Amino acid sequence: MHFTSLLIFAAALFVAAGSPGPSIAALVARVIAKGFRDVFPFLLAMWIGEGIWLSLAVFGLAMVAQTFHLAFVVLKWVGVAYLGYLAWKMWTAPVEAREGEMPREESAVKLFFAGMAVTLGNPKIMMFYLALLPTIIDLASVSVIGWVELTATMAVVLVAIDLAWVLAAAQARKLLRSKRAMKIANRVSATTMAGAAAAIAARS
């Protein structure tokens, strides 16, 4: 693919993915409440999920997405339900924490599934790849090599954005040492997570 096309795609993705949305809100809330050490399965699933949407768009499989619309709707609501569950867990989390201690980690498999459900069930992400992307790039002319180039570009942009959010949230977490601060952080994170679930649920 032309380098200019990749730059345009990267710029559009940077704006779309970098703007705070349900996925970013869920990610930041998770890091503030639990730390960054167990968030990577969630991140990996988010990146794979976006890769799936990109592949559907590039290989002209939008019809497949429409055919299996019910499956994506189910995924969406499963993701909403799990985000709601995480919000409840954060809200009720104990505030007893000693120096160097981390709250109990969630299962990596559960976190991966949550990230996948949030990404595949997020209409904002779906609309970017299936509706906006074709107006940026002539997908009919994209070869397998072009798909690899787009996927690599997507990975670089998403990794940079998401890790920046993780770093910012982790730095904010370091300031939260007292019981009161931890309780406030848990409640704020729970509210943010619940808001992310509500935002995904409200979108069609």
Q: Pick 19 or 66 by higher pLDDT.
A: 19
Per-residue pLDDT, 99: 39
> What confidence category does residue 203 fall into, taking pLDDT thresholds of 50, 70 and 90?
low
pLDDT at 102: 35
The amino acid present at 19, given as its one-letter code, is S
Tens of pLDDT along 37-78? 778 888 999 999 999 989 888 887 655 555 555 665 666 676
pLDDT of residue 104: 45
pLDDT digits (tens, 9 = 90+) for 124-137: 787 788 777 877 78
Question: Length of the chain in residues, anyone?
Answer: 204
Residue spans per domain, the chain: 3-202
- CA nearest neighbour of 200 among 105, 127, 91: 127
Helix (H, G, I), strand (E, B) or coil at 100: coil
- Mean pLDDT, range 154-160, rounded to an integer: 94
Query: In which band, very low, low, confident or very high, does the pLDDT at 97 lie, cut at 50, 70 and 90?
Result: very low
For the beta carbon of residue 47, count every other beta carbon within 10 angstroms: 17
Region 142-167: mean pLDDT is: 91
Query: What is the pLDDT averaged over residues 151-161?
Result: 93
Residue 84 token pair: 């709601």
Q: How far is CA 41 from the centre of its chain?
A: 11
Q: For residue 6, is pLDDT > 70?
A: yes
Six token digits for residue 53: 């949407």
